[in-house]
Amino acid sequence: MPDLLYGAVVAAIAIYIYFVVNDRKLSQLPPDAEIFSPDRFTVQGVLAAFKQHHDKPIDTGKLLPPKTGRRYIVVGGAGFLGGWIVHQLLQRGEDPKRIRVLDVRLPTRPDLRTGKAQHVTFLKVDISNVTAVSNAFQVPWPQTGTGGDSDKGEITVFHSAANIRFYERVLALFSRSTDVNYEGTKNVTSSSKDIGASILIYTSSGALAVRRTRFWLWPWETRPRFFVQLLWDDDNLIPKRHEHFFSNYAASKRLGERVVREADKSPSGRSRILRTGCIRPGNGIFGPGGDILCGAYLVRKHNPTWVENILQSYIYVENCALAHLCYEQRLVELEKGGTNPDIGGQSFNVTDSGSPCTFGDVHLALSTLDSECEFPSYSFTFMLSIAHLIEATYVTKTLLSMSTSVLCRALARMIPPIRGDLVNLQPSMFALISVHLIFDDHRARLSPSEGGLGYNGPYTTLQGICKTADAHLKANRAGEERSQGAGVSLNFKLWKKSRGTDKAHKKVNAGQHLHVEAVTVLN
């Protein structure tokens, strides 16, 4: 008995030492990452940026491409990024009656239910249903009241809908991501050609190039492989094997992107040609209107973290929407006989202006601007251990419930469900948020004559954070339902979450298609 006790004590001490040493290795900001952003946020700098936001707010309207008068279908336009694309179309003067939104739910955002947006047609559609998508695309356009033919004119399709099951990596669950991100994208592309659309812009994801890595380090290893990843829009950087993607989500977005790019220059309708392009947002998109990054932090208030040192490129949502409109403008110019290089069928990374920042920078900014927002630190290795346990429970229960065996399904019911935001705490999340990701978007920023998009997003990440926090405070700290179910709160006592969060995750766990924009959840 004493020997067993002695052995247990030695084992506990060894595990503790390993956790401490492993945490130390993973908490570094390596020089090859820090060189891209050597300066950290300060309280004074954050307050100065917030004051500037109030004194001289950025006006994206001046940077929007000119009105086209085209007809628009925005898939996923009732949500976060898609909603901002609709907002910018209206902002530049497009006729709301010539804008149609397809989404799995009707809009809840105030700015999509008031003003000009009231005249936009919103159709509730599951894009994994080929018939539903085709019918929605074929719906006659409403009369504009200007005397013109509402069913005439070129059509642009923006496709920003996705099912972001970033927490799944097991191949057996891959269909849960491909139903929307691949099959749904095929449906959107096919229906675009059926109605004679001439432009299709797809929201891909910069995360599809992120390589999965291992965080359980051997004593002689100093840091994980792929700990620092410099990502530009080179297809050679994209993983070739499923297990090399950080999650099923990334692999499914790669398939969806391929569908869109391969459709470039294909026949559309009776006499048109479809031109396509893809935007790969940096990791990740944030801003007012229901994001699952900074907005989720503010809504959740208590935000456990173990990645303060991690440096990543972000993109504020208005910058991201602008990039989509810039790509459309380039393709419209080519359609009209422009002489700039043909950039159809390509993918472009886009990020914020300025340097990338660490999670610690983001945490400092948000806690400075909202005193109720806090970020307690946890052990990385300990949280990774918990993530593996949650994944084992989640995958076992899910696979058993999918079995045709009555016994297996009965066993599945005996395993407690992973409720609330704990479902997000799985190893694939670590593969995304625990590596230094620097996205290079210089090609998108090139002028059209140089083969670029002419993209020049005006917001730095800090300026975007200031606007996000300001909108949150003006809304009395209320948040969209989408923000309420994101991230990880680690409130293990609340197995039964609030109604909105629990409802959202029940839909996901039941295999229904939760359509949200192509963003990544970070913690």
Establish whether the linkage from the previous residue to 479 is cis, with ω within 30° of 0.
no
Which of 72-86, 139-153, 374-388, 397-411 bottoms out in mean pLDDT, i.e. has the lowest? 139-153
Query: Three-class SS of residue 418?
Result: coil
313 to each of 285, 310, 439, how far by Cα in Å?
10, 10, 6
Residue 57 has pLDDT above 60, yes or no: yes
Judge whether residue 164 has pLDDT over 60: yes
Q: Which residue has 């669950």 as its token pair?
A: 173
> What is the band of 484 on the pLDDT scale with cuts at 50, 70, 90?
low
**113, 92 in Cβ contact below 8 A?**
no
Q: Evaluate whether 65 touches 326 at the Cβ level (below 8 Å).
A: yes
Mean pLDDT of 382-387: 96
* DSSP class per residue in 332-398: HHHHTT--S---TT-EEEE--BS--EEHHHHHHHHHHH-TT-B--B--HHHHHHHHHHHHHHHHHHH
| Cα separation, 469 vs 86, whole angstroms | 22
The answer on pLDDT for 519 being more than 70 is no
More confident residue, 8 or 235: 235
Residue 147 predicted with pLDDT over 60 = no
Amino acid occupying residue 282: G
Given a cut of 80, whether residue 521 has pLDDT beyond it is: no
Using CA atoms, how far residue 232 sits from 169, 229, 261, 437, 448, in Å, is 24, 10, 17, 10, 18
First to last CA, the chain: 44
pLDDT in tens, 215-232: 999 999 999 999 999 999
Beta bridge partners of 460: 353
Distance CA 408, CA 232 (A): 45
Identify the pLDDT of residue 511.
Answer: 38
Segment 241-261 mean pLDDT: 97
pLDDT band of 284, cuts 50, 70, 90 = confident
Share of the chain above pLDDT 70, in %: 90
Q: pLDDT per residue over 188-216, tens digit each?
A: 999 999 999 999 999 999 999 999 999 99
- For residue 366, give both structure tokens: 């948000």
Q: How far apart are CA 344 and CA 337, in angstroms?
A: 13
How wide is the angle at C-alpha 273 spanned by C-alphas 270 and 276, nearest 5°?
A: 135
Instruction: Compute the distance between CA of residue 456 and CA of residue 319 in angstroms, rounded to an integer.
Output: 8
pLDDT at residue 61 is higher than 50: yes
pTM of the predicted model, to two decimals?
0.91
User: How far, in Å, CA of 439 to CA of 206, rounded?
Assistant: 8
What are 458-482's pLDDT values in tens digits?
999 999 999 999 999 998 877 665 5
Q: Using 50, 70 and 90 to split pLDDT, how confident is the model at 495?
A: very low
The residues, ordered by sequence, that sit 6+ positions from 466 with a Cβ below 8 Å of its Cβ are 46, 49, 50, 52, 53, 365, 369
Residue 78 to residue 365: CA distance in whole angstroms: 29
Please give the pLDDT value at position 145. 63
Residue 1's pLDDT band, with cuts at 50, 70 and 90, is low
Pick the range with the lowest mean pLDDT from 304-313, 384-393, 421-430, 490-499.
490-499
